[in-house]
Structure 1
């Protein structure tokens, strides 16, 4: 926000908003988005009806002689038309109630394009399958043209993308013109408050308009008053969302809440340890007390079994398919330099358990003995040793490392349960000896062949960045994150970027 947009307590000296008028202001602003949403909703349904009409006229009616192809009044003469209408009505009624349920029970937060599409896709598929089930019970399913119904299903999916894009375009234009906005006020200009402001500016969530900070101790151009000025500002300027970033100041927060409760404002308190709240804590109630249970990772219970199942299936299939390739790589390694094909190295796994990790040998024989001589040339910060132009690496080894071919034998470690396909990289014992308590967080899960570190820069990252990515993976584990890493690994490996 530039200086000429900054709000001050006397920006509107002749304007006073009372409690009811603030609610009126918010209703006026919210009417336009609601109008857009409802218009798009009904336009989408009209589009579905027109699409269905065209498909019937082009694919069903031509089979009946003497019936006008484009006059739906004439279509009433054939009984199958009634069955098709029944299918359409059931489908649209189901979609209507699914939309209504989503509006009633979902949060007011603006979703991304992908999230909107996934909801529409699930809704269309679900309503379509339920409609098929209902019409099957009514014994009308076998009368329908399968191709016509499939074309209609595909058309609805394509049209839903267009309607989502249209709504977002219209809303974006309205935001840019200032017709609608979400005025945000932040209480507290400390680290958390500044982080919230940065996210508002960078991500432009819900097209928020930052009004300023209220803070008793800080001074900068965005601070528009003290915390005690909150109600005065509410009476001069419409505030839609109030972020309170000083939860430890309980008496101040309680006083603010008593002041703000009577106004139509979204109040959001960011708790202490907010950066870990959604990942390492879960809410529960013990002995009638609300508790925060410390949870190391969501990768527990049935999630562990699912991940292990995919590890076993994936490693077994890949070992079977790549065995001829392994033979070729082994021959090439043997032809270039003396020494074994495979290189076994002691690594530290989950909860500090040691194991022997297997790789294709990419260095000359006795390379470990020369590591001490190169320690002063280490290019990686922290306890990790990395050297971009390591003289111990053979010519074939350089190629193997660049495209991560040397890592493939670790599939055997995965099959044995010592590693996983995806997870933090297993460290060396001398690296672990230098770990702090915080560094040990990356040992809470099985180490992996690939992970967030690899798809985010590989060896180009410093140790702390590497560590942060590992801990993010551990604390935010999900099946979707697993798939995202897996699919991103392929282009990263093909490019060979950041590998040495």
Structure 2
């Protein structure tokens, strides 16, 4: 009996070792194919760079030399005095460029990047390598021997060829994915809301790169649920799995058991943290008191980014106040002639972190009309704690024009200059609106309020409160310089059209 149990145990170990080895072999094979494609593209790219260098030497440098063996680069080293200097430049440039690419492969934390992201890195790598090479040749005192036009043309050619090679690589990889040679099989643990969202996002990914083999769940059944969490190893032996997404992080004992089970397999394990959808999308990894932890970062708009944005606000508001001063005077005169009352209207608003300030606008209503809002509350056309009317009877004829083209907002440039507001950000709410806010709504006050924002370029007053809120939080959590520029460029046509403004 003891011998029989021992034999069964040995058989189980052999089967387990076989399945573990089979998965590892497939991963190694897939990695080899990817490496081969990358090496072919890399060699082709560098051969293209060298050939481009050869063409430029033939067209730009050789014509200045008489009796040169035109198509024999080996003879050029003796016949063309600057050829060796150009070769040194090329070798240094390609060496630095190659080192930069290797650094990217080693330290990039992002597995999948779009072709634009890849090209932007290549672009920076080429420009960086070129500038460093220029600096090195300056120290070698050979800079004056080069034709500036030739070097610039070479860099432009490198940038163009890189884009072509990236496109070729994408086509090759897409073909391999379609054939199934590199397709990644994905198993999702947890068929709840998060698991279903992961399935949707994977299915939406273009290129046939991923294939979902099914779900594991202890509480749900269905065609897509292929087993319980305790069946994980059986599934791994039956079906090749490359990546496992665990979407039940609260089940610590279950996760710990699964991780111990699959550690021996060459499978990527990815755990989606709890509350990921209600927290900020930005995390910082820390190691406090020897415990690994995730620090929630409310917004990328912090540190140096805050300083840069403030400098941009000061410069931008100062420039616009000077540039638009004749228009501001004309508007002030028109308001004064059009109706009795002050030119400017001050209203208390809630700013960053709940700080109160007085926002300045051109008066667009009859004097004292803000006290009559309670009489019109039943005619409110907005949802949530916001009051909006398309045909507000309190608005003056001049004020209607000012509102349509957002000209009544121009005095807020002074608020920007004072640091109470920013050129771009969420709109500052009224105190009575904030009284109805939930904790989630308060996320709008994590940054300085702005004169324009995503809401301004996405429908303005035609949006309901929840859409408005979602756009503000999207801006806060995904702030970047490129997003700022995108909003800024879209604001001008949105204001000129005047759509959704009342």
Query: Could you tell me which residue of structure 2 aligns to residue 476 of structure 1?
Result: 478
Matches within 5 A, 1:42-121: 42-76=43-77, 77-107=79-109, 109-121=111-123
1:217 aligns with 2:247: no
Tell me if structure 2 keeps the 8 A contact 1:315–1:411: yes
SS at match of 2:420: coil
| In structure 2, distance between residues paired with 1:106 and 1:134 | 27
> In structure 1, what is the Cα distance between the partners aligned to 2:372 and 2:34?
67
Task: Specify whether residues 128 and 499 from structure 1 end up closer, same or farther in structure 2 by C-alpha distance, changes over 3 A only.
Answer: same
How far, CA to CA, are the matches of 2:58 and 2:419 in structure 1?
59
Measured against aligned partners, the alpha-carbon deviations of 1:237-263 in whole angstroms (never above 9, x if no partner) come to 111110001111111111111111111
| 1:37 partnered with 2:11 | no
Partner of 2:129: 127
Return the alpha-carbon distance in structure 1 between the equivalents of residues 38 and 359 of structure 2. Answer: 56
Q: Deviations over 1:327-375 (max 9, x none)?
A: 2223333444443332222212223222221112233444323322221
Q: Cα deviation per residue 1:204-223 (whole Å; 9 max; x = unaligned)?
A: 48822111111111123221
Higher relative contact order (CA 8 A, sep 6+): 1
* Equivalent pair of 1:58/1:69 in contact (CA under 8 Å): no
Q: Give the direction of change, closer, same or farther, for the CA distance of 1:290–1:137 in structure 2 (3 Å limit).
A: same
Kept in 1: contact 2:246–2:272 (CA 8 A): yes
Q: Deviations over 1:127-156 (max 9, x none)?
A: 101111111111111100011111111111
- The answer to whether the 8 A contact 1:359-1:409 is kept is yes
| Matched length | 485
In the superposition, the TM-score normalised over structure 2's length comes to 0.90
Partner Cα separation in structure 2 for residue 213 and residue 424 of structure 1: 40
Moved more, 367-376 or 311-320: 367-376
The aligned counterpart of 2:314 is 312
Pairwise CA distance, 1:108: 6.0
8 Å CA contact retained: 2:279, 2:296: no
Q: CA deviation at 1:322?
A: 1.0
State the shift of 1:295 in Å.
4.4
2-structure distance, mates of 1:221, 1:362:
61
Shift of 1:292: 4.4
Matches of 1:388 and 1:215, distance apart in 2: 51
Kindly indicate whether the alpha-carbon contact (under 8 Å) linking 1:17 and 1:234 is maintained by their aligned counterparts in 2.
no
1:408 aligns with 2:410: yes
1:18 is paired with a residue whose SS is helix
Give the Cα separation in 1 of the matches to 2:180 and 2:346. 64
Q: Give RMSD over aligned pairs.
A: 2.3
Structure 2 equivalent of residue 342 of structure 1: 344
Matching of residue 145 in structure 1 with residue 147 in structure 2: yes
CA distance change for structure 1 residues 328 and 290 in 2, over 3 Å: closer, same or farther? same
Kindly indicate whether residue 24 of structure 2 is the aligned counterpart of residue 20 of structure 1. no
Distance 1:151 1:443, change over 3 A: same
Q: Summarize the Cα distance change of 1:176–1:59 in structure 2 as closer, same or farther, 3 Å threshold.
A: same
* Runs of 5+ unmatched residues, structure 2: 1-16
Identify the residue that residue 271 of structure 1 maps to in structure 2.
Answer: 273
Q: Which residue of 2 aligns with 1:391?
A: 393
State the secondary structure of the residue aligned to 1:267: strand
Structure 1 unaligned residues grouped into runs of 5+: 1-15
Q: Distance in 2 between matches of 1:276 and 1:384?
A: 23
